[in-house]
Every structure is written in C-alpha cells, then in structure tokens.
Amino acid sequence: MKIFVYHTPELVPTEGIPDCAIAVDILRATTTIATALAAGAEGVQVFSDLDELLRVSEAHPPELRIRVGERGGKTVEGFDLGNSPFDFTPDVVKGKRIFMSTTNGTRSLQKVQNAKSVLACAMINLGSVLKYLRETKPETVWIVGSGWEGSYSLEDTTCAGAIAANLEDEADFGNDEAVAAATLYKTWKGEVEELFYQASHGKRLLNLNGAEDIAYCAKLDVVDVLPKQSSAGLL
Ligand code: 3SL
C-alpha cells in the first residue's frame, strides 16, 4: 500500500486514478456525513454546486429528503439544515436521503469521484477506515484534505496523518506530505481538540458558536460507519 496525502482538492494530480481515495473535512463535512449515516440516513449525495443540488433533489419525495447547504460556516437560506453534526439526529435523518453542499468538503469528494473506491473519513470514524484499508489492501491511496477555499488546513492534515501514522508499519509513504502529516498527528496525538481550536477554521467556527462542534469533531472513533461512494451516493 502506498499512501499519498494532498492538502487540498486543487493539489490532487490531474493524471492517474488511485485504488482508493479518502476525502477528509474534519470541520465539518466528513464528520457530519459519518454522523448522518450512523444516525440512519439512507445515503448522502454531495454537490459542489447549490443549484445542481436543488435540481437533482427535486426528483426525490420532499418528505424523504433533507437539503443541506453551508457556505462560510452558515446555513444557506432556504435549505433544511446547515453543517453542524448535532443537527443530524436519528429523529431527523433516519430513512432520509441527504443532498449536501458545503464550502470545501463536498468539493474534495467530487474531485476524487473517479477513484476505484471513494471514502469519507473523519476522526470520529477513523477506525472503520483503517479496518477497510487493512482488509482491502489497496495499492495506492490518496488522502485528500478539503482545506479552506484552496488553502491548507491543520485539522484535515491531522486526520490524514492519523490514517498514515496508524499504517506506517504496513504501508509506504508516497510523498513528503504523507510524512509531514503523520509527524503532525504523532506530535499532537491525544490533544487534537486543542490543535483544532488553533486552526483558522476552528477560530472561524468559534466565532459562530461552534465550540461544541469542534470538540465533537476531535473525538476518536465514536461511530462505526464507513461512508463509501456508490452510484446512489455515500452509503
Ligand atoms: O467547508 C466545508 O465543507 C464545511 O465543512 C465548512 S463548515 O465547517 O461547515 O463551516
């Protein structure tokens, strides 16, 4: 297994298709996706474009769909929910299909759509992703951070590093970013919540009363779900 880390969707190579691509948006899209599926959502379809989301979701029965729209950390007007994982409780999402567009996270998922398998990873479902990688042993793995509008983000690299560091005895690192990410995680392991408060998006969320969200997003392995892309979205 050879692991490559790319800090943002923009840095993903334009050539080559990995056996497995893992999108990471700790604050908060991939955390929210894992939470929604653990709460019984039927599936999650991601969109980079809000209009496209509205058009596609129109064909789905209104009582069985939830439209999620986030821009700049806030809920988009007219959408059912924003991106706080705490809103995705079983009573709200069970049996419903989620149509989701966020500032960065859904873009990274769309960017790697052609990979042979596509996963969404967060700290909260790290163990499920590691288990999948150990069982399936993909030859090449691209871990793609979502960043913030094209720039690096500390929290996504921490999670990429958590994947890489946990597999370092079983895998090779394909680029310097993978080595750096693993080092970052090993340095902050056990204190990732503190690190997330220092991240620029952590600070942005704190200004939006998101402290509880950050604390939850920093938790390790609290849900046992593997969001994996299929023709019907992430299931
Ligand atoms: O950028 C994203 O995709 C979001 O996760 C950002 S936020 O945490 O909802 O503000």
Ligand 1 atom closest to Cα of residue 84 = 9
Tell which residue, 113, 145, 147, 94, has the closest CA to residue 233. Answer: 113
- From the CA of 135, how far away is ligand 1's center (Å)? 30
Contacts of 235 (CB under 8 A, 6+ apart): 37, 43, 227, 228
| ipTM entry | 0.95
Tell the residue number behind the tokens 């997003």, with chain if given.
217
The predicted structure's pLDDT at residue 221:
98
3-state secondary structure at position 131: helix
CA 222 to chain centre: 15
The predicted structure's pLDDT at residue 37:
98
Helix 154-166, helix 126-136: angle, nearest 10? 40
- Give residue-wise pLDDT tens across range 170-204: 999 999 999 999 999 999 999 999 999 999 999 99
Residue 205 confidence class, pLDDT cut points 50, 70, 90: very high
Report the distance separating Cα 227 and Cα 98, nearest Å: 13
Number of CB atoms found within 10 A of residue 35's CB: 26
Report the distance separating Cα 178 and Cα 28, nearest Å: 22
The predicted structure's pLDDT at residue 101:
97
Helix 154-166, helix 200-207: angle, nearest 10? 130
Ligand 1 atom closest to Cα of residue 106 = 3
Residues in the chain: 235
Residue 51 confidence class, pLDDT cut points 50, 70, 90: very high
The predicted structure's pLDDT at residue 5:
98
- From the CA of 170, how far away is ligand 1's center (Å)? 32
- Give residue-wise pLDDT tens across range 124-144: 999 999 999 999 999 999 999
The finding on whether 102 has its CB within 6 A of some atom of ligand 1 is: yes
Q: Which of 7, 10, 27, 155 to mutate to test the pocket of ligand 1 (most atoms within 8 A of CB)?
A: 27
Number of CB atoms found within 10 A of residue 137's CB: 13
205: which 2 tokens?
Answer: 């969320």
- Give percent of the chain above pLDDT 90: 100
The predicted structure's pLDDT at residue 128:
98
- From the CA of 186, how far away is ligand 1's center (Å)? 25
The predicted structure's pLDDT at residue 161:
98
- Give residue-wise pLDDT tens across range 62-101: 999 999 999 999 999 999 999 999 999 999 999 999 999 9
The predicted structure's pLDDT at residue 52:
97
Q: What is the mean pLDDT of the chain?
A: 97
Phi, psi of 56 (to 5 degrees): -65, -40
Helix (H), strand (E) at residue 24: strand 20-24
- From the CA of 24, how far away is ligand 1's center (Å)? 11
Report the distance separating Cα 150 and Cα 222, nearest Å: 29
The predicted structure's pLDDT at residue 192:
98
- DSSP per residue over 27-74, as a string? TTHHHHHHHHHHTT-SEEEE-S-HHHHHHHHTTS-GGGEEEEEEETTE
